[in-house]
Structure 1
Amino acid sequence: MNYNEIARETLQAIGGKENVAAAAHCATRLRLALHDESLVDQEKLDAMDSVKGTFSTGGQYQIIFGSGTVNNVFAEFSKMTGTDGMSTTDVKSAGAKNMNPLQRFVKMLSDIFVPIIPAIVAGGLLMGINNLLTAQGLFIDGQSIVEAYPNMADLAALINTFANAAFVFLPILIGFSATQRFGGNAYLGAALGMIMVHPDLLNGWGYGGALVSGEIPVWSIFGFEIEKIGYQGTVLPVLAASFILAKVELSLRKVIPSALDNLLTPLLTIFITGILTFTLVGPITRSAGNLLSDGMIWLYDTTGFIGGALFGLLYAPIVITGMHHSFIAVETQLLADIAKTGGSFIFVVATMSNVAQGAATLAVFLLTKNKKLKGTASAAGISALLGITEPAMFGVNLKLRYPFIGAIIGSAVATAYVTFFKVKAIALGAAGLPGVISIQHEGLVQYVIGMVIAIAVAFVVTIVLGKRDEKKQAVQNAA
């Protein structure tokens, strides 16, 4: 492949060097922040054999070249545009200028939660392994593995400790990431998170029981009582507290003399934010977080399979807008409070949508005679079945339209099925075929059946719509 020529053609198609605000690449895509996306010659990009697909989201215009190819194309592209050394963070920052307020809010949530997902995934998957060891009747009739083999009890206990850590100390992870995102000192954010889960406080999960019994411990300061309650496994309180901490710190740095800055700024920042957290911010946002979780559970329990079908139908369109990143905060709260919520249904919906997109793309692979499209569809379809849908959705399904319709129909039917059986995930992971390890064992069989339904319905509907599309085109050509 002539990578220099590919880069030159790409640059011409996107409006030239002057239209490029920032550029970088990830594993498969060239990521661009453009001054004016209306200058992009979409037909020219679509005609390039090396381009597997394009899409625009979150203020970025992304061109899919595929693993390996994108590195070489970017090496030439960066020389032509002077963007060598730029990172995806630079592109995100430049692209944020093209976003509306709602998109910026979603991006903020994504920036905070995406870095801590590996820790949550690790904890959740370990929780899944613990459930495999302790679930009765899953492998042995009437017994769990631990009951059948008592010498494995301590192994299960150890895994359970490892699994719970990320959720028990979640405010520390969020405090670090959120404070950094808001422009404050990330380590002060982590310290605030530590304060919120300090062992001297009443454990956050015991708050409900203490409230009923009237045994909530307090600090009594000059006749004013402050409840000594921890915030284990919470999301909204630490998000709000981290925002306040960053703003307090930045404000103090403007007024405190530089000679005293390192001494007084951290001291006052932690003290002021800590007081506000336990007296005002924490209690209000804890209630708001509980309402959010209860509302999601009520919606899930009340609307049943009809609501599930609607969610499954809309999930892929929501992904197109990038709004699905806002689900991360909700899903984290559902998993952190798993004793009450039972887990996350959002992960299950995402899986049904993803595998349906993959099945629709593989149907296109079977139908099309275009060699370039066949190559794109085969790789993208398999990728979507494994949980990565961008190449399938943006590179194939949305362009042809009928596969996307087939995919959302398959997703709706499958989501209605798994919602009817109340299937939930106990961990984050790959929302696709590998996601079985993330599912509560009671719903594992229904989860697998749901994926089969999603794949079968999406595949068949796409084939039917594709055949109809072919006939329509044949009639138009004959006319």
Structure 2
Amino acid sequence: MSKDYRRIAEGILQGIGGKENLVQAAHCVTRLRLVLKDEGKVDADKLQKVELVKGHFTNAGVFQIVIGPNEVEKVYKEFVELAGVETATVSDVKEVGAKKLNPFQRLIKTFSDVFMPILPAIITAGLLMGINNLIGAEGLFIEDKSLLEAYPDLQGLWDLINTMANTAFVFLPAIVGWSAAKRFGGSEILGIVLGLLLVHPDLLNAWNYGKAAAGIEGEIPYFDILGLFQIEKVGYQGQILPVFVAAYVLSVVEKWLKKRVPNAIQLPMARRYPTSWKWFYSRL
């Protein structure tokens, strides 16, 4: 049985306080995503009685109405027409909704935007570490022995799992650099390289810094910059805040340069006008 999507859209519009209370609207796979001027004007009871509406909530300044797959697109089409607003993307709505948050909420949202995409890598690494610990745990399966001690042939498998589990944490700055650069509007590949720079093998491993500082094992090396000042050659293994801040600075500088560097020498032009670059390289 076909549904009257225009009537449903009218009911939603009345439930949110009318088109005067609407700033912007978009939709994802299952929900209408709205930015409202005043969420206090929302009539929750009226909204819940509208056909197809399965619930509603607010997240990061965006009011979301759960409708369901396929149906949401049809309701959205009628909704924007009735409200007299232009269609928008989810990103547009998120950006406008974020402006309604206070500074602390914006900071939390920024951290969430950066770390949510890398959670699968962290969770997988944690699960592998759990498996590794089970194999190496003494007395868990065999009295006074671990599986590794009882079955030496497991050593290779244990080493492999250990390497796989540690990878995400050893190169954590690179993963965060990618996600942070993407969030701040910079080049993602530059974010990865920035993260890898912070864990470069030429730098003193951060986990050995304490021993070097105490004089127990080796010394702390330095970059001597023109004899004016020195920078410690220390890596940032397992740390997130240094690369987070660095990726933000990188993105700001990159966007500033893109507005001022002539198009003729920007990398995208090499793809757009390959013949001019061949002429240039032929004369080097």
TM-score bucket (shorter structure): 0.7 to 0.9
| Structure with a larger share of its residues in helix | 1
**TM value normalised by structure 1:** 0.49
Per-residue deviation, residues 64-112 of structure 1 (Å, max 9, x unmatched): 45xxxx1133122211134898553333123112222222111111111
* Residue aligning to 1:138: 140
1:24 aligns with 2:35: no
1:217 aligns with 2:221: yes
Deviation of 1:135 after TM superposition, in Å, equals 1.5
**Aligned letter for 1:244?**
V
**Aligned letter for 1:72?**
N
* Residue aligning to 2:160: 158
* Residue aligning to 2:104: 102
- CA 17–152 in structure 1, closer or farther in 2 if over 3 Å, else same: farther
Does the residue aligned with 2:26 lie in a helix, a strand or coil? strand
- CA 20–251 in structure 1, closer or farther in 2 if over 3 Å, else same: closer
1:147 aligns with 2:149: yes
Q: Is the CA contact (8 Å cut-off) linking 1:167 and 1:232 kept in structure 2?
A: yes
**Aligned letter for 1:248?**
V
Q: Is the CA contact (8 Å cut-off) linking 1:196 and 1:232 kept in structure 2?
A: yes
Q: 2:241 aligns with which of 236, 254, 262?
A: 236
Deviation of 1:228 after TM superposition, in Å, equals 1.1
* Residue aligning to 2:11: 9
1:433-444, aligned counterparts within 5 Å?
none
- CA 144–91 in structure 1, closer or farther in 2 if over 3 Å, else same: farther
Deviation of 1:180 after TM superposition, in Å, equals 2.0
- CA 217–125 in structure 1, closer or farther in 2 if over 3 Å, else same: same
Deviation of 1:239 after TM superposition, in Å, equals 1.0
* Residue aligning to 2:174: 172
- CA 48–258 in structure 1, closer or farther in 2 if over 3 Å, else same: closer
Q: 1:77 aligns with which of 75, 78, 84?
A: 75
- CA 148–16 in structure 1, closer or farther in 2 if over 3 Å, else same: farther
Supply the distance in 2 between the matched residues of 1:3 and 1:203 (Cα, whole angstroms): 64
**Aligned letter for 1:105?**
L
Deviation of 1:189 after TM superposition, in Å, equals 1.4
Does the residue aligned with 1:239 lie in a helix, a strand or coil? helix
Supply the distance in 1 between the matched residues of 2:121 and 2:231 (Cα, whole angstroms): 32
**Aligned letter for 1:189?**
G
Does the residue aligned with 1:157 lie in a helix, a strand or coil? helix
* Residue aligning to 1:249: 254
Per-residue deviation, residues 412-457 of structure 1 (Å, max 9, x unmatched): xxxxxxxxxxxxxxxxxxxxxxxxxxxxxxxxxxxxxxxxxxxxxx
Q: Is the CA contact (8 Å cut-off) linking 2:181 and 2:191 kept in structure 1?
A: yes
**Aligned letter for 1:234?**
Q
Does the residue aligned with 2:70 lie in a helix, a strand or coil? helix
Q: Is the CA contact (8 Å cut-off) linking 2:191 and 2:247 kept in structure 1?
A: yes
**Aligned letter for 2:74?**
E
Deviation of 1:157 after TM superposition, in Å, equals 1.1
Deviation of 1:138 after TM superposition, in Å, equals 2.3
Deviation of 1:253 after TM superposition, in Å, equals 3.0
* Residue aligning to 1:93: 95
* Residue aligning to 1:320: none
Does the residue aligned with 1:216 lie in a helix, a strand or coil? coil
Deviation of 1:171 after TM superposition, in Å, equals 0.8
Deviation of 1:164 after TM superposition, in Å, equals 0.7
1:251-266, aligned counterparts within 5 Å?
251-262=256-267
* Residue aligning to 2:280: none
**Aligned letter for 1:76?**
K
Per-residue deviation, residues 93-136 of structure 1 (Å, max 9, x unmatched): 23112222222111111111111111111111111111122122
Q: Is the CA contact (8 Å cut-off) linking 1:202 and 1:228 kept in structure 2?
A: yes
**Aligned letter for 2:72?**
F
Q: Is the CA contact (8 Å cut-off) linking 2:25 and 2:32 kept in structure 1?
A: no
Deviation of 1:16 after TM superposition, in Å, equals 4.0
Gaps of 5+ in 1: 264-479
Supply the distance in 1 between the matched residues of 2:101 and 2:166 (Cα, whole angstroms): 37
* Residue aligning to 1:331: none
Supply the distance in 2 between the matched residues of 1:41 and 1:73 (Cα, whole angstroms): 22
Q: Is the CA contact (8 Å cut-off) linking 1:17 and 1:80 kept in structure 2?
A: no
Q: Is the CA contact (8 Å cut-off) linking 1:3 and 1:73 kept in structure 2?
A: no
Supply the distance in 2 between the matched residues of 1:37 and 1:208 (Cα, whole angstroms): 52
Supply the distance in 1 between the matched residues of 2:56 and 2:204 (Cα, whole angstroms): 52
- CA 203–13 in structure 1, closer or farther in 2 if over 3 Å, else same: same
**Aligned letter for 2:206?**
G
Pairs aligned (count): 258
Measured on the aligned residues, the alpha-carbon RMSD in Å equals 2.6
- Higher normalized contact order (CA 8 Å, seq sep 6+, divided by chain length): 1
Deviation of 1:241 after TM superposition, in Å, equals 1.0
